[in-house]
Amino acid sequence: MTTMAKETETRMAAKRMAVGFEVIDGYLLSGHPPKGEVVAAVLADRVDSAAAAPFYRALEAVGARAADEAFLALRLILAGRPPDDDAVRRLRALAAVARASSSGDVTAFEAVFKRERVHLGSLAEAPVASPADRAAAGQAAAKAYAVALESVPSVERNAGDDALR
């Protein structure tokens, strides 16, 4: 394979991965598109990864009944991160805050802050009494979610966490 062909293949794989990320992230952070569409999109455009293969098989087997944690673990793997329990739980908490903020569901928002406080890090200390506070917390959660999935040096990642304080 020529260098140009390898570069083209790499760009195409990155584009496919980005599309998969957008679909998964959209669902997790806002609830759109619906879970069934996410499963179909992810399975239709798989990334060749041994670490991701069990998650693809699980999604084939259970479809839209899959737990969101499966999407989170797959998202971590596709971002080159280990899908360890702490990382999945933190992303789940951040996504839940962003989704509750996006939908304006105050009851869900308060439940997430109560249930997931330990996984929210510095975001757990943010004021959340007013609609503006909840919107700001939702935006901060979405940003922290994105930062947690970036391939950046730990110094920059820590700076992203500091932005939440």
pTM of the model: 0.79
Rounded Cα distance between 49 and 77, Å, is: 9
Rounded Cα distance between 6 and 98, Å, is: 38
What residue segments make up the domains of the chain, in order of their start? 3-78, 85-162
Mean pLDDT, contiguous 10-residue spans, the chain (165 residues): 51 47 92 94 92 94 95 93 95 96 94 94 92 96 94 41 43
pLDDT of residue 10: 43
Rounded Cα distance between 45 and 17, Å, is: 8
pLDDT of residue 151: 57
